[in-house]
Amino acid sequence: MKNIRDFTLAELEEELVSIGEKKYRAKQIFAWLFRGVTSFSEMTDLSKELIAKLSENYYIENIVDSKSQKSKDGTVKFLFILRDGNAIESVMMKYKYGNTACVSNQVGCRMGCNFCASARIGFVRSLTSGEIISQILEIERQTGEKISNVVFMGIGEPLDNYDNVMRAIKIINDPKGFNIGARHISISTCGIVPKIRQLADEIELQCNLCISLHSSKDDVRSSMMPINKKYSIAEVIDACKYYIEKTNRRITFEYALVDGVNDSKEDALHLAKLLKGMLAHVNLIPINKIKDGIYEKSSTEKIMSFRDTLNDNGIVATIRRELGSDISAACGQLVRQQKQDV
């Protein structure tokens, strides 16, 4: 059995032809999937024979929300159970300009960043594109709200699940899919250099690229993020410059401020120097506390002065609003819950 939500429209057309059906049927089926149907029998413009054939060979992913939690700021966190029993979390945030879905792309994560709860739980497997988009469909179904932005900032490292993430992006962007503009889709990576270069070469869609930088100094970054021992800051910046040259898109650098670790004035000046002249923007995140975490959040004054130092030195910087921290739905707080907790 294949998950019918795993196909892009072009792939579904090929698939239908391969089972002896007319190509145009793919458009009909695809459109139904994005109207949120959960069974083939609801696809009323298909013949009974085709419905039977589809039901025998494919399934419609039906991820179950076992425990959604709503924050006082309107953020909703979902705990989804996949078909194989694994659990992931997704978040819906409400902004003035629309609703953002923060989706997971792996069960667990193998990057091991020491400030991120998702890393604590180990790595189980990558999600398929169908499992990624099912999170958005289920969020829309549960809340009755439309999603207008998607960020790959949930559990997992998107560039460690490159093909499925790219396929999901195509489906999210497809006018017959979610019809969400590429500029409303963001991928965040811890900095897998060859994949950033691959993305620059292959990207058909102009989605936003965010880099989790967190320090402009190799020793500090390596102490927070093991990936830095493999790809140094200089290599990441080089790959980013290549990406900008190829796509002419601005890159966002995410920087979680940790008290006494990366938040001094000198750190801000060092960062400004590193990014000088690049088509870049810095998004400052007050670090969120995780269970048994070793880091403390910088004070609000320090965060504001860090931003001001960057701005004064020609780097555009903003402070990310903290949403959902009361329900552990904020950056770095998502975990693959143990099944017995569910």
Query: Which pair of tokens denotes residue 221?
Result: 């970054």
- Out of 298, 332, 335, 336, point to the residue binding ligand SAH (CB under 6 A): 332
What is the secondary structure of 203-236 as a DSSP string? --S--EEEEE---SSHHHHHHH-THHHHS-HHHH
Which of 102, 116, 210, 331 is the catalytic position?
A: 331
Q: Is 190 annotated in the active site? A: no
Helices 193-202, 233-247: inter-axial angle, 10-degree rounding: 0
Which of 15, 21, 89, 131 is the catalytic position?
A: 89
Centre a 10 Å sphere on the Cβ of residue 230 and count the other Cβ atoms it contains. 12
Q: What mask of x and - would describe binding to ligand SAH in positions 96 to 135, judged by CB under 6 A? A: ---------------x---xx-------------------
89 near ligand SAH (CB under 6 A): no
Task: Name all contacts of 90-93 with Cβ < 8 Å and 24+ positions apart.
Answer: 90/135, 90/138, 90/139, 90/154, 91/154, 91/324, 91/329, 91/334, 92/139, 92/143, 92/145, 92/147, 93/323, 93/324
Determine the residue with CB nearest ligand SAH.
332
257 near ligand SAH (CB under 6 A): no
Q: Is 331 annotated in the active site? A: yes
190 near ligand SAH (CB under 6 A): yes
153 near ligand SAH (CB under 6 A): yes
- Out of 285, 310, 315, 335, point to the residue binding ligand SAH (CB under 6 A): 285
Total residues contacting ligand SAH by CB under 6 A comes to 17
Least distance to ligand SAH from the beta carbon of 111, Å?
A: 6
298 near ligand SAH (CB under 6 A): no
CA–CA distance, 298 with 323 (Å, rounded to integer): 17
256 near ligand SAH (CB under 6 A): yes
Least distance to ligand SAH from the beta carbon of 153, Å?
A: 4
Q: Cα 104–4–199 angle (5° rounding)?
A: 50
Centre a 10 Å sphere on the Cβ of residue 308 and count the other Cβ atoms it contains. 13
Nearer to ligand SAH, 25 or 214 (CB): 214
157 near ligand SAH (CB under 6 A): yes
| CB 135 within 8 Å of CB 142 | no
| Residue 306 DSSP SS3 | helix
Binding part of the chain for ligand SAH, among 172-180, 192-200, 236-244, 280-288 by CB under 6 A, reads 280-288
Residues in 199-228 that interact with ligand SAH by CB under 6 A? 212
CA–CA distance, 104 with 156 (Å, rounded to integer): 6
Nearer to ligand SAH, 4 or 189 (CB): 189
CA–CA distance, 57 with 2 (Å, rounded to integer): 6
Catalytic residue IDs: 89, 331
